[in-house]
Chains A and B, each alone.
Chain A
């Protein structure tokens, strides 16, 4: 071992440079989480502006054009830049720990994935400063999105393209991590549910993002380089975009909701202090939802006129998804039944999720009935439906996960007292905002319209809806206060903060060492930490003696690879107005990316070793601290 130890010195940086170059999954998780929260705030502000415009009839707070930009950016930001990154944050922070791994399979690509997402997000939001944000809706249907004057859509196409590459890499990375990096004894059917749902969501990413990539390339070529796929005058066809977008778009919904299901499936057994009911059915329901997710996208296009046969097939497939989802709902209920339930904030969100999401699921089944969909389509009923599943499902999951894993990620706990306020304000605000929207839709209020006439029965419901939105706004401010308060506090939590941890991440010391596990754990069954606790053991069994630990080196290359694409993307947008500047930026950016790739291939980087003596010293310090 001595010669390998001398093989390579560790390359370390401090401060900001450490965050830019880090390949540690725990730090990348934090980067994802905070970038996600930042974009969540942006998207939230956009939502408040939308609601303020709709607070009364014939309001002129913003113009119709600005309103279109707000709704487009709200949807795009929330889906791609807030919900997905925050989920990636939890996946990064938790999944390697849950399976007993020292890192993800590809730490370098993990960092690359983050920076691609980050620069993609920045590019999308730069549109506000270059004249106009995208205004064609988050679905960017052609020909609305191919209008030459809608310059914001350029940023949409390029920004999502760049961040989409990052998502694809993250997806493959998690798949391989979960398949190849599990600790001894961690069989597939012993994996925690969050790991399982991450696995299935990652598989969905691998197959769902390529159609989006193609669609966005086509949108970019059409807008910036003169292609005519969507121009009927030149033989183009706008339905191609709709298909490509929804072949991606529907699985995307499951990419968001499945990990959220996973979070609830971790929290509910922990605080019901009972094994998850129906673990096996949970796993298979997850896989079934993932699989069916690829066969239902046409239900977004029922009113396009694809014919009764197509509509019927996709309607039936859509209804079928309710079955595995129902299985999950009952499994959560049966896990709660007879448990010794502890109601902290994470658990409140989990319990509130069940009825909230159920409402969204029910309206989903209503929408899946193709003839009825002709009535609901493009009305506020649809808005209410997808906010009930996305907020009532995904956002509740994100908040629940934040309270639950915050101690693991940061060594500090969020205030439960502020948390109760935050939860109740959010819960009430959410239902106050979106429940009336069902009726607005049924009364005939169309979505994506910037104002409405008085005396049509829309006033009260819209007012309620806006009040609810501000409840959620206040709740989010409280959340920020809680986060800041936690960071300011000197109180460092103990390992297994909740005392009822069941899975491997709770066996780790606080703060988690960079190598995670000094010795790789030996997994004895589902909820292995719980099993060891029940057997009277304080620590989980280990599978190996203490020895040198191989670690990957930090790297600046992912940052520059992503920056290059970002610059090239800006060049692609600018070349429409200024050929010289645009094409030089494209050339410079692509050169930067390809040189970075070349360097990555050329430079041998075998990582470094943390010596055994260091690991032993760490272990000793931790044990002494534990005995105090």
Chain B
């Protein structure tokens, strides 16, 4: 049965369109639980990384000699800002402003793509100086952790792009709102992971 969903008189869509239907609510809860699992997934990667920090790497390829603060700072700002623009997109979604929602999502995508480009540049640079996936246990652990995060960013970009194209000419409703909403949760979570990566991998790596 399609239960009639109460629409807000001002916005014309339900107050929380992402969980107005049982289907939406299921997606919302399930995605949070998935993020709970992802927390442990990244914890395992972080644990491996701190366990193998600088292990097997020659002096010139240790964390304090290879990481460059400028690039990491730029990447952090890009991803952090994209987290905000994703929030703005969701606020506009709830206010039934599809045009502005799309605008902010595109900004999010651009920032995310910028982050990814910077990361690829960074990896190529490391490759040239000899810090690779197979060069030492430190290298393997570093690329696994940061690469897993980068893969998440890539997947997020593809996901949000697909949603945007698919729903470009559609109004915001209880079918597509949960999809947009969980993709934005995913995007925030990517930033959560990055906060630990820049703190533990990069900054702490530069100190020690």
| Given known A226-B134, A229-B137, A601-B162, contact A240–B52 (CB-CB < 8 A) | yes
Chain B interface residue count, Cβ-Cβ cutoff 8 angstroms: 38
Q: Which residues of A contact B138 (CB under 8 A)?
A: 235
A214 within 8 A of B: yes
Could you tell me if B137 and A236 are in contact, using CB atoms closer than 8 angstroms?
Answer: yes
Could you tell me if A221 and B140 are in contact, using CB atoms closer than 8 angstroms?
Answer: yes
The 8 Å CB contact of B140, one of A176, A210, A228, is A228
Q: Which residues of B contact A231 (CB under 8 A)?
A: 137
B55 within 8 A of A: yes
Total A-B pairs, Cβ < 8 A = 120
Could you tell me if B44 and A244 are in contact, using CB atoms closer than 8 angstroms?
Answer: yes
Q: Which residues of B contact A221 (CB under 8 A)?
A: 133, 140, 144
Could you tell me if A240 and B51 are in contact, using CB atoms closer than 8 angstroms?
Answer: yes
A179 within 8 A of B: yes
Q: How far is the CA of A548 from the CA of B2 in the complex (A)?
A: 9
Could you tell me if A214 and B26 are in contact, using CB atoms closer than 8 angstroms?
Answer: no
In the complex formed, the residue of A with least CB distance to B37 is: A206
Q: Which residues of A contact B30 (CB under 8 A)?
A: 105-106, 172-173, 175-176
B40 within 8 A of A: yes
Q: How far is the CA of A217 from the CA of B141 in the complex (A)?
A: 11
Could you tell me if A235 and B48 are in contact, using CB atoms closer than 8 angstroms?
Answer: no
User: By CB atoms of chain B within 10 A, which of A4, A236, A244, A548 has the most?
Assistant: A236
Chain A interface residue count, Cβ-Cβ cutoff 8 angstroms: 47
User: By CB atoms of chain A within 10 A, which of B48, B51, B57 has the most?
Assistant: B48
Q: Which residues of B contact A217 (CB under 8 A)?
A: 144
In the complex formed, the residue of B with least CB distance to A294 is: B40
How does the 8 Å CB contact mask read for B150-185 relative to A, with 1 for contact and 0 for none?
000000000100110010000000010001000000
How does the 8 Å CB contact mask read for B39-70 relative to A, with 1 for contact and 0 for none?
01100110110011001110000000000000
B29 within 8 A of A: yes
| Given known A228-B136, A237-B52, A601-B163, contact A175–B37 (CB-CB < 8 A) | no
Interface positions of A from 592 to 625, Cβ below 8 Å from B: 598, 601-602, 604, 606
A547 within 8 A of B: yes
Could you tell me if B140 and A229 are in contact, using CB atoms closer than 8 angstroms?
Answer: yes
How far in angstroms is the closest Cβ of chain A from B16?
Answer: 15
Could you tell me if B26 and A227 are in contact, using CB atoms closer than 8 angstroms?
Answer: no
A150 within 8 A of B: no
Q: How far is the CA of A222 from the CA of B137 in the complex (A)?
A: 10
Q: How far is the CA of A210 from the CA of B175 in the complex (A)?
A: 30
Q: How far is the CA of A179 from the CA of B22 in the complex (A)?
A: 11
The 8 Å CB contact of B133, one of A207, A214, A227, A244, is A227
| Given known A180-B22, A602-B166, contact A210–B134 (CB-CB < 8 A) | no
A525 within 8 A of B: no
Could you tell me if B133 and A225 are in contact, using CB atoms closer than 8 angstroms?
Answer: yes
Q: Which residues of B contact A215 (CB under 8 A)?
A: 44
Q: How far is the CA of A382 from the CA of B32 in the complex (A)?
A: 38
How does the 8 Å CB contact mask read for A174-187 relative to B, with 1 for contact and 0 for none?
01100111000000
Could you tell me if A598 and B140 are in contact, using CB atoms closer than 8 angstroms?
Answer: no
How does the 8 Å CB contact mask read for A198-216 relative to B, with 1 for contact and 0 for none?
0000000011011101110
Q: Which residues of A contact B26 (CB under 8 A)?
A: 105-106, 176, 180-181
The 8 Å CB contact of A228, one of B1, B22, B134, B162, is B134
Could you tell me if A180 and B133 are in contact, using CB atoms closer than 8 angstroms?
Answer: no
B73 within 8 A of A: no
| Given known A175-B33, A211-B40, A214-B48, contact A547–B137 (CB-CB < 8 A) | no
Q: How far is the CA of A243 from the CA of B159 in the complex (A)?
A: 33
In the complex formed, the residue of A with least CB distance to B133 is: A227
How far in angstroms is the closest Cβ of chain B from A594?
Answer: 8
How does the 8 Å CB contact mask read for B1-20 relative to A, with 1 for contact and 0 for none?
11000000000000000000
| Given known A235-B52, A550-B1, contact A228–B37 (CB-CB < 8 A) | no
Could you tell me if B56 and A548 are in contact, using CB atoms closer than 8 angstroms?
Answer: no
Q: Which residues of A contact B140 (CB under 8 A)?
A: 218, 221-222, 227-229, 236
Could you tell me if A218 and B48 are in contact, using CB atoms closer than 8 angstroms?
Answer: yes
How far in angstroms is the closest Cβ of chain B from A544?
Answer: 9
Q: Offer 25 A-B interface pairs, CB within 8 angstroms, sorted by A.
A: A1-B1, A172-B30, A179-B29, A180-B29, A206-B37, A207-B37, A210-B41, A210-B44, A213-B44, A214-B44, A218-B48, A218-B144, A221-B144, A226-B134, A228-B137, A228-B139, A231-B137, A234-B136, A235-B55, A235-B137, A236-B55, A236-B137, A236-B140, A237-B52, A237-B137
B: residues with CB less than 8 A from A are 1-2, 22, 25-26, 29-30, 33-34, 36-38, 40-41, 44-45, 47-48, 51-52, 55-57, 133-134, 136-141, 144, 159, 162-163, 166, 175, 179
Given contacts A172-B37, A181-B26, 14 further A-B contacts (CB under 8 A): A1-B1, A176-B29, A179-B29, A180-B26, A207-B37, A225-B133, A227-B134, A231-B137, A234-B137, A235-B52, A236-B56, A237-B51, A240-B48, A549-B1
